[in-house]
Structure 1
Amino acid sequence: MTDIERELTAERLLNGSVRRSYDSSVDIDWDAPLVPGKYFLPPEISPLYGTPMWNALTPTQRIELSRQELANLLSVGHWFENILNQALLRMIFAADPTSKYTHYALTEIGDECRHMLMFGRLIEKIGARPFRQHPVQLAFTKLAPLRMHGLQLWVWALIGEEIFDVWQRRMMDEDGLQPVVRRMMRIHVVEEARHIQWARDGVARRMRHASRLERELVGRAIGIGGPFMRDQLVHPGIYRRAGLDGDEAYRQAMANPHHKRVKVEGFDRLRRFLEDQDVFRGKARERWRAAGFIE
């Protein structure tokens, strides 16, 4: 029954991919100029929004900050899609090549490759430079695909997809944003909706059939996700590139109650799903709370 359910879900998602898929090379007007005075991310998304440092910035400085913040988010997205693709390729290495499940895995890998290309082109388009991971973070992310299988694969896929999806849905209709950014967000939201559905199905199915040991290990390990996501979203390098005092900006951002509300809002949908599926174990929930994603 599990195999039948899995095949039916994959077939439905494959049909959706046929109906609504994009190629950013032709579906985004890369030659259109940037619009003066428009932001690259909504001001309210900025971790500095409402702080004394934010209030002292000129409109031009705020727009430049949003440019660097977008470049950081796109860089994080590029890393994550790379990790996910490696894990999916390992998952289907010995799988049945005639299976609809394998076919959808390959379809998602293709989607994510196009997303990585889209993120890279957008960083270049907005006149920014990609951000690089700290060597310790880089070592962790390089090893991650080797450990992402079973329940762990699906849970980490959701952590990387759902939080950003909540913010993207808000951005894609934001009139104050650069049109090229809004178009990219819309494309990503449409295609990520299928990826999120697949990962949610994977979590729900695996929680029914995984061993008690697997549920305990994964449920505890996901606590790492909170601090890791916090450190990817906010770090002094973003502010230094925007011409600010990086350490002071980081301090104000981390102490900013508005930024915490934005994080809680981004994690809330996923938090409720993980709680409904009884995924959290040990101190995982407390670690997400300490990182500011749970009130």
Structure 2
Amino acid sequence: MEMIEEVRNLKLRHPKVEHLRLLVVGPVGAGKSTLINSIGSIFQGRLYQGALADTACDTSFTQKLQTQKIRDGESEKFLPFVISDIMGLEGSASAAGIRVDDIIMVLQGHIKDGYRFIHSEPIKRQDRSYRSNPDLHKKVHCVVLVFPADKTAMMEHDEDGVIAKMREVRKGAAELKIPQVVVMTMVDKACPEVRKDLKMIYSSKKIKEKMQECSKQLGVPMNYVYPVKNYHEETELRDDVDVLLLSALKQILTFANDHVQELDNSPTFNPLKRLSTIF
């Protein structure tokens, strides 16, 4: 498949970036960990479980910052990107779930892998898992907001405040000039026609409505909303599932690569140059 080769041969656009770093953010049960495993499955050529997931848990199964390297099953080399998984977002009244200020710290590269999030208090600078001066490849290069298509009806009222938190994450990312996209999971649960035939996703009015709801409530343009189906009940890989996931991944990596290229081209303060203009 051509898209697989494009990802395998991706050239990073910043000399100091070892890999592009993607961060998946979303409510509990949105399928963040399953999304990571689904992407890993494509490149392994078999069903793969790198990130642990739990479909029967009402609270976040992921408690720590966990970064997954994706190994290419053909070359046995790691691909030029990593995906960081974090604790899920929960409602404002919940005594669990990740804090938005901790997510911003992750975006900036301040939190080391393996840190266990504490809802009652943000990470402190004196914590052993706090990184004072993160390198560029430790920072996040694209935020992937994950939301289940079958739950978009809750977005308009947002009674528990999860959508408001996702908007806060977007705002923090925007201030850091980090691109953001939406991956809309569980399309098969949102539309019976799509469940019967995944190719119907391109003509489904219901899926288009769900994409519009995500775009409106999260403030992300429609062409940055990607409907996908994760591997959650299959026992073998399917081309129609792979195509949707790869299409989304390809665009996400393009945005991330554009971001690091802009950082490479951004002007830096040179005190000697400043002195030369004065004297």
TM-score, length-normalised on structure 2? 0.28
Question: Which structure is higher in strand share?
Answer: 2
Give the structure, 1 or 2, with the largest relative contact order (CA under 8 Å, sep 6 or more): 1
TM-score, length-normalised on structure 1? 0.27
